[in-house]
Amino acid sequence: MRALPEHRLVDRLLRSRLWIWVLGALLGGIVAMQVSLLKLNSGISRAVTTATTLERQNAGLEAAIARLSTTDRVKAGALTLNMLMPPAGDVSYLGPRPEDPARAVRRMQPPSEEAAALLANDGIVPGSLADATVLAPAVAPAATTTTTTTTTGITLAGEG
């Protein structure tokens, strides 16, 4: 190792123009490495900023949930609707009775026209904001295929 700086090949390399190219390539590698580190640091900085913003928003939402779900607020809302809080230990659950299924069948009736229209519109109230944003097509709709069954049982398909 001690004789390496005095070796004929090293001396020839240092005195030639090849040394300039080797040094340029090494400096170019250092510059490329520094640029990649700068890109990495800027990405980390953006991620930290995003995380901080999300944490701040999450804290605000948690505070809003805590404020909206306080017992006093729920009690005040119930009182405005003329509801009363039952005494402690006075809450019980109903169990099924033998006549409940027959009674349920007797009380069943077809849905109203409003309910049928709501079901036909995938549960979205026609004319609402959700109707305009969710159901608005992003691209032109594709051709639909309709199927018709005749009284003879033959199925016809066509483009609509």
For tokens 């980390």, the residue is 44
Task: List Cβ neighbours of 67 (8 Å cut-off, separation of 6 or more).
Answer: 73
Tell me the C-alpha to C-alpha distance, in Å, between residue 96 and each of 46, 103, 155: 58, 12, 47
pTM for the whole thing?
0.38
**Could you give the CA distance from residue 36 to residue 44 in angstroms, rounded to a whole number?**
12
Give residue-wise pLDDT tens across range 17-39. Answer: 888 888 899 999 999 999 999 99
Give residue-wise pLDDT tens across range 89-146. Answer: 888 888 999 999 999 999 999 989 988 888 888 888 877 766 555 544 444 444 444 4
